[in-house]
Chains A and B, each alone.
Chain A
Amino acid sequence: TQLLEQSPQFLSIQEGENLTVYCNSSSVFSSLQWYRQEPGEGPVLLVTVVTGGEVKKLKRLTFQFGDARKDSSLHITAAQPGDTGLYLCAGASDAGNMLTFGGGTRLMVKP
């Protein structure tokens, strides 16, 4: 069974601060995705990383896939209240289309 552990589980910061969320596993994934979920809505895909060591940027968000494709990180620069939400990482295996989701990081950015 593939497991993804996210840390921290909860994070409360002030507007303008930087933060990093981690997603770790002992298993290798063919790709890894990051989603953001806002209250009352479904998760929304932010990015997919496929290659070991890959770095993708989405405005103030930087996503990195570990060299061994077992872990990933999400770094937010100068966080804003609009970044508040639940961040989920999800790994895809070579075996099929199912995703393994991490437990999520609940981020609150205070103005």
Chain B
Amino acid sequence: DARVTQTPRHKVTEMGQEVTMRCQPILGHNTVFWYRQTMMQGLELLAYFRNRAPLDDSGMPKDRFSAEMPDATLATLKIQPSEPRDSAVYFCASGRGTGSSYEQYFGPGTRLTVT
């Protein structure tokens, strides 16, 4: 049963520290998405990759956030420096990126707490 995996599942860090979240998309999927979820804002798209190339990161604070796909099996989201307002659950999702009935498959998320 293929699944998107994310590490770590939980992260508690102090303000100013660097945070790196990792995602392994489902094998064969060529699109990867990073989302942030909070009670107030719901699910927000941060970044979107297709065939490892970044296509949209307009939802991401550029001064402190960065997203990369060093290879087809790994996507990373980095926050440096972290701030308390970054506390949220970060989800990675992957998909095949074809057709109009496009579907995304989500990982279990990384719950980040910045104190």
List the one stretch of B42-50, B61-69, B70-78 in contact with chain A: B42-50
**Contact assessment for B101 and A98 in the assembled complex, using a CB-CB cutoff below 8 Å:** no
CB of A61 within 8 Å of the partner chain: no
Q: Is A19 an interface residue (CB 8 A)?
A: no
A52 located at the interface, meaning its Cβ lies under 8 Å from any Cβ of chain B in the complex: no
Contact in complex: B103, A48 (CB < 8 Å): yes
The reply to whether A33 and B106 contact each other, CB–CB distance below 8 Å, is: no
Task: Give the size category of B's interface with A.
Answer: 20 to 34
A101 CA to B42 CA, complexed, in Å: 9
With a cutoff of 8 Å between Cβ atoms, the chain A residues found around residue B42 in the complex are 101-104
Instruction: Report the bound CA distance from A12 to B64 in whole Å.
Output: 39
Smallest CB gap from B100: residue in A: A30
Residues in chain A within 8 A of chain B (CB atoms): 30-31, 33, 35, 40-45, 48, 50, 88, 90, 92, 94, 96-99, 101-104
Please report B residues at the A interface, Cβ cutoff 8 Å: 4, 31, 33, 42-43, 45, 48, 50, 55-56, 91, 93, 95, 97, 100-109
